[in-house]
Amino acid sequence: MAEPQLPVGPAIAVSDLRMRYGDKDVLGGVDFTVETGSVTALLGPNGAGKTTTVEILEGFRARSGGEVSVLGADPADGDEHWRARMGIVLQEWRDNGKWRVRDLLAHFADYYRPYTDPWSADELLDMVGLTEQAGQRLMRLSGGQRRRLDVAAGIVGRPALLFLDEPTTGFDPHARREFHELIHRLTDLEGTTILLTTHDLAEAEKLAERILILAGGRIIADGSPDALARAAATTAEVKWMQDGRLQVHATDDATAFARKLLATDDGAVTDLEIHRASLEDAYLALVEQFEAGEVQAAADTFQEATR
Amino acid sequence: MNPTMHAYKTGWRRALIETKVTLTTPSDVIGTLFPLVIGVTVLLFLRGVDIEGAPVSLGSMSMPSLIGMFIVWGGVFGVLGTMVMDRTNGTMLRAKSMPGGMTGYLVGHLGSIAIFTAFSVMVMLVVGLVFFDGLEFASPDRWLLFLAVLVLILAATVPLGAVLGALLDNPNNMALVMLPFMGLIAISGIFYPITALPDWLQAIGQVFPTYWAGLGMRHALLPDSAVAVEIGQSWRTLTMFIVLAAWSAASMAFAPKLLSRMARRESGSTMAARREKMQQDWG
């Protein structure tokens, strides 16, 4: 049995990552690092290059340029020991449809035995809430159950790093909530680093400690959900009642404006409200511009807004 | 344990589970048995047809040929068809995402096809012995020859299926491989002695494994005097072994490179693209 390698440095380090298909640059110099033990969301509109980025990190795709290190190795020449330390949950896995749930997990666990002590099928089923479905065929599972099984299969080898690609696409709100709870449970497993991709800001805010926004082939924002929200809220709308009339004023410095307003109003101002532009507003504007084909403009505007 | 050995062992377990899964999935069993039932039914009606110079009826003569053909078909298309599907539904990508998973997948898949084909062949053999007069299976040397030919045909065709499966990216191109194979059956002496065909067609037929599979099974199951309607009035035992072994060696030589190329290219987005293409072509 191989000795587990100790984590050295960040779980993922990417610098100047480039990807070119034909004459189209999909990734034009992506830089980021992901620290061990964190939950990071790679957020971006559909077609922004998220899947390409993650596939390069997973070692599924050769890159055009740049430096990439995942769990201390270049994914382009990651061996089976390296492979054993990561788990991958893809968007739409419909594999092994005729297999039964427990058989599949028990079989997958076998692959990891030379490298680690994998979870047992029953422990995993309990963790993802599929104990009752243990004897069912995979193709009979609902969409949400299937994705939870995919997560179980992804963590069977106790991975140091788990990739979740668009994990809740096509879910109803109930399935989505259950899935989010599962991810929260996973983050309690010691030391598992999670990188998830999503195009849903609410999901990123809910699950991740840190959000990387990818658009126009580069990372245009990077920070905790709070930090991004604060950065996005550069302009605020101040509303108040004065002399029986509603007053509205847009400002970059709401605090200073309000201080001045209250200092000079002689008590006439009532119902003071300050609305900051939310991260959601900024992100939705980005997605809209992106979908209208204004990729570069979208990226630039957003980057300005969040700096 | 050595990780590579472990992957092979895990793959073998996969083969057993796959076999169990296939045998307990009614649609799989029916899908395999249905064409066989039709084939055997046709042969039942040919029991009354005599061939000049042969000691057995056309039905009895064709039964071993049908077994030989089925092994070729099951070996090649059992492997190819599932591989093509598995690249579309993510089974192969899943294998790629686990340590030793691709090795395990291939060992398991090829192994399960071989087991399942051999199982179907045993069923056909029993049916043949019960319903067709003149088949001989009463001595150990017959058993040995039958098993040797069965193993050799599987060894020639299962890797061939893997080679084709590695090359065939789009499920819709299956027909491109299937149609020539069907044509090949017509010139491989399966349902009528090949000697009835013009020489140039005989020559083409003898390049491919289907003819030799049929010949080998007739050799194993028919009375010796049935050799009278074969080319050169000979079972050509050595040639048969050499041709099938050559197909096996050639496929096995190409398979690892092609399979690792296929594995290297496999990713979530190639899979999604394939799926999309399939939907476009169908809809």
pLDDT tens for B14-51 read 999 999 999 999 998 898 888 889 989 999 999 989 88
The Cα–Cα gap between A245 and A249 comes to: 13
Q: Which of B17, B91, B97 sits opposite A88 (nearest CB)?
A: B97
Q: Which of B13, B25, B99 sits opposite A83 (nearest CB)?
A: B99
The Cα–Cα gap between B144 and B146 comes to: 5
Contact B98 A96 (CB under 8 A): no
Contact present, A32 and A219 (Cβ < 8 Å): yes
Three-state DSSP state, A187:
helix
Task: Tell whether B104 lies on the interface with A, counting CB pairs under 8 A.
Answer: yes
* Mean pLDDT rounded to a whole number for chain A: 86
pLDDT band at A92 (very low <50, low <70, confident <90, very high): confident
Q: Which of A191 and A29 is assigned the larger pLDDT?
A: A29
Fold entry, domain A1-85+160-233+279-307: Rossmann fold (3.40.50)
Q: Mean pLDDT over residues B49-70, rounded?
A: 91
Among A13, A11, A54, A58, CA closest to A36: A11
Q: What residue type is assigned to position A284 of the chain?
A: L
Structure tokens at B85: 């599907």
Percentage of chain B modeled with pLDDT above 90: 70
Residue A6 has pLDDT above 70, yes or no: no
Three-state DSSP state, A143:
helix
Task: Tell whether B267 lies on the interface with A, counting CB pairs under 8 A.
Answer: yes
DSSP 8-state symbol, A131: G
Structure tokens at A292: 């209208």
Listed range (A167-176, B101-110, B120-129) with the worst mean pLDDT: A167-176
Task: Tell whether A90 lies on the interface with B, counting CB pairs under 8 A.
Answer: yes
The Cα–Cα gap between A155 and A21 comes to: 32
Structure tokens at A135: 């004897």
Listed range (A92-101, A102-111, A149-158) with the worst mean pLDDT: A92-101
pLDDT band at A23 (very low <50, low <70, confident <90, very high): confident
Residue B141 has pLDDT above 80, yes or no: yes
Contacts of B266 in chain A (CB under 8 A): 60
pLDDT band at A22 (very low <50, low <70, confident <90, very high): confident
pLDDT band at A303 (very low <50, low <70, confident <90, very high): low
Question: What does the pLDDT look like over B203-260, one tens digit per residue?
Answer: 999 999 999 999 999 999 999 999 998 999 999 999 999 999 999 999 999 998 998 8
Question: What does the pLDDT look like over B144-153, one tens digit per residue?
Answer: 999 999 999 9
φ, ψ for residue A95 (rounded to 5)?
-75, 160
H or E stretch covering A163: strand A161-165
Structure tokens at A102: 């427990």
Through-space distance between the first and last CA atoms of chain A, rounded to whole angstroms:
49
pLDDT band at A175 (very low <50, low <70, confident <90, very high): confident
Residue B283 has pLDDT above 70, yes or no: no
Q: Which of B230 and A284 is assigned the larger pLDDT?
A: B230
Which residue of chain B comes nearest to A114, CA vs CA?
B3
pLDDT band at A307 (very low <50, low <70, confident <90, very high): low
Residue A3 has pLDDT above 60, yes or no: no
Contacts of A81 in chain B (CB under 8 A): 3, 99
Task: Tell whether A114 lies on the interface with B, counting CB pairs under 8 A.
Answer: yes
φ, ψ for residue B247 (rounded to 5)?
-60, -40
Residue A7 has pLDDT above 70, yes or no: no
Q: Mean pLDDT over residues A186-200, rounded?
A: 85
Q: Mean pLDDT over residues A301-305, rounded?
A: 64
> What pLDDT is stored for residue A2 in this prediction?
46
Among B94, B108, B77, B112, CA closest to B11: B108
Contacts of A61 in chain B (CB under 8 A): 267, 269
Residue B57 has pLDDT above 70, yes or no: yes
> What pLDDT is stored for residue B247 in this prediction?
96
Q: Which of B54 and B11 is assigned the larger pLDDT?
A: B11
To 10 degrees, what angle do helices B140-167 and B101-131 make? 140
Among B266, B261, B211, CA closest to B235: B211
Among B248, B196, B243, B178, CA closest to B215: B243
* Mean pLDDT rounded to a whole number for chain B: 91
**Which of A22-26, A37-41, A103-107, B276-280: highest mean pLDDT?**
A103-107
**All structural domains of chain A with their residue ranges:** 1-85+160-233+279-307, 94-157, 235-276
ipTM above 0.90, yes or no: no
Alpha-carbon distances, residue A248 vs A36, A84, A235 (angstroms)? 46, 58, 13
**All structural domains of chain B with their residue ranges:** 3-273
Contacts of A23 (CB under 8 A, 6+ apart): none
Q: Reading across the β-sheet that carries A65-70, which strands appear in turn?
A: A24-34, A12-21, A65-70
Interface with B, mutate which of A54, A95, A112, A113 (most B CBs under 10 A): A95
Q: Reading across the β-sheet that carries A218-223, which strands appear in turn?
A: A86-89, A161-165, A193-198, A39-43, A210-215, A218-223
pLDDT band at A1 (very low <50, low <70, confident <90, very high): very low
To 10 degrees, what angle do helices B58-89 and B101-131 make? 160
The Cα–Cα gap between B193 and B217 comes to: 14
Listed range (A84-98, A240-254, A275-289, B40-54) with the worst mean pLDDT: A275-289
pLDDT band at A233 (very low <50, low <70, confident <90, very high): low
